[in-house]
Amino acid sequence: MTALAITAQPKREFRGAWIQCVNGQFKGIGTKTMQETLTYQLDELQKDGCNVIIFQVRPECDALYQSALEPWSYYLTGQQGLAPQPYWDPLAWMVEQCHKRGMELHAWINPYRAKTKVAHANAVNHVVSQHPERCFEYDGLTLLNPALKENRDYICQVVTDILERYDVDGLHIDDYFYPYPVAGVNIPDDAYFRANPQGFTDKDDWRRNNVNLFIEQLWATIRTVKPWVKFGVSPFGIYRNEKSDPNGSKTNGLQNYDQLYADVLLWVKNGWVDYCVPQIYWEIGNKAADYDELIHWWDKYCTKTTLVIGEDVERTVKFNQMARKMVLHAELPNVKGTVLWYAKAVVDNVGNYGTRLRELYWRNPALQPAMKHIDNKAPKKPRKVQAVDIEGQKVLFWTAPKGEGWKDAAASYVVYRFNQGDKVTVDDASKIVAITSDTHYEMPRETPGTKCTYAVTALDRMQNESSYKKVKVKY
């Protein structure tokens, strides 16, 4: 299969991009400039076909949103605890902006990291200031100790607060569990292991269990508070090397299981994550971590959840491998999408990456992958679909179907357009012209006399799709 042969667009595909704050791109730029920057990024990503934004809102036990639990982020205002002026709430604003564009917004938190290596003062209400005994330092970082139940409870309290107050579609955590190892630097948790080994004799197993307990508790918290919110994890790209485990990948790099104490496959097996985004940031042919080897490995072993591949845009462009990687995505049965690292590289169109997305790979809109384990019942179809001529502009209108509760009510709609003579079938993704939360759609102008058919379906919170209601249109 060649890149040009990828003509059939999947109807359902996770097309995400990470927008991070920890790189300092928003620090101190002010409300107006940050809103303008994000507006431009979202507009370009929408044109590129992106349908999920993963927005970093808690980089170091702080907040890019109004919180009574944690201080405003240093990465927002340049001073931890200082509210933005003029006042705004970036998370609330991003939810509104993404939904307006037919995108999902997933709130991305860093659960354990309490302070990065960037020097700045902590606010008096920051967890490091309030509870230094619950943290440890490692190579210039400060982290919440994963061994402590009170830290698990605290993180889940923060997540509960986010879910209760913001209409997010997902909750996302990345690859930072226990700290990335530094030669000669030990994690200072011997005393905690001796005091409460929880039945373990091996400290590595004990650490993995600490993280497992957290992941299970976080998953249960999300399901209890808002069961439609998707829980996603984006682990480091290598689970285990073959030399450590016969079922591991033919790689030679740092391992989730052994160095970060993240047993990702156990979480997948137990149904604790709704989507998994391994960060396969290397190039095809990399000697230590070959992209081709790793994407096949994850496709084979990560089958119990929605598998999405984390892509490094700049490295892909550097090695001129976008086409080859996209072929692999199309060929592998369990790969259900991509998350791009990072959004700004796509927006800046590095190596024409964004252009290739909008003209070829993501040229048609796509629904989210189905998550039948959360909900598999479709809503009823839209009502009263009609085309109305308003001062020369044809507008398609419809009415929401009857339905109550998050499982049955319509949350958005899919609009299809068929030329005269086309078979009306919603199985053809190339006929999708819009995915919208509105109950109207402005039809593009056509040559007088043109005849076509429009069809509209309803989507619920999990993007289960109803049957369609159609209307014939003559210009």
391-398: average pLDDT: 94
Three-state SS sequence of the chain? CCHHHCCCCCCECEEEEEECCCCCCCCCCCHHHHHHHHHHHHHHHHHCCCCEEEEEEECCCCECCCCCCCCECHHHHCCCCCCCCCCCCHHHHHHHHHHHCCCEEEEEECCCEEECCCCCCCCCCCHHHHCHHHEEEECCEEEECCCCHHHHHHHHHHHHHHHHHCCCCEEEECCCCCCCCCCCCCCCCHHHHHHCCCCCCCHHHHHHHHHHHHHHHHHHHHHHHCCCCEEEECCECCCCECCCCCCCECCCCCCHHHHHCCCHHHHHHCCCCCEECCECCCCCCCCCCCHHHHHHHHHHHCCCCEEEEEEEHHHHHHCCCHHHHHHHHHHCCCEEEEEEECHHHHHCCHHHHHHHHHHHHCCCCCECCCCCCCCCCCCCCCEEEEEEEECCEEEEEEECCCCCCCCCCCCEEEEEEEECCCCCCCCCHHHEEEEECCCEEECCCCCCCCEEEEEEEEECCCCCECCCEEEEEEC
- Please give the pLDDT value at position 9: 82
302-330: average pLDDT: 98
**Over the stretch 144-198, which tens digit does the pLDDT of each residue have?**
999 999 999 999 999 999 999 999 999 999 999 999 999 999 999 999 999 999 9
**Over the stretch 285-312, which tens digit does the pLDDT of each residue have?**
999 999 999 999 999 999 999 999 999 9
Q: What percentage of the chain has pLDDT greater than the value 90? A: 97
Q: What percentage of the chain has pLDDT greater than the value 70? A: 99
Model confidence at 5: pLDDT above 60: no
Model confidence at 363: pLDDT above 70: yes
261-290: average pLDDT: 98
Model confidence at 329: pLDDT above 70: yes
The mean pLDDT value of the chain amounts to 96
- Please give the pLDDT value at position 392: 86
Model confidence at 455: pLDDT above 90: yes
Indicate the pTM of the whole model: 0.97
pLDDT grade for 55, boundaries at 50, 70 and 90: very high
pLDDT grade for 125, boundaries at 50, 70 and 90: very high
pLDDT grade for 430, boundaries at 50, 70 and 90: very high
- Please give the pLDDT value at position 40: 98
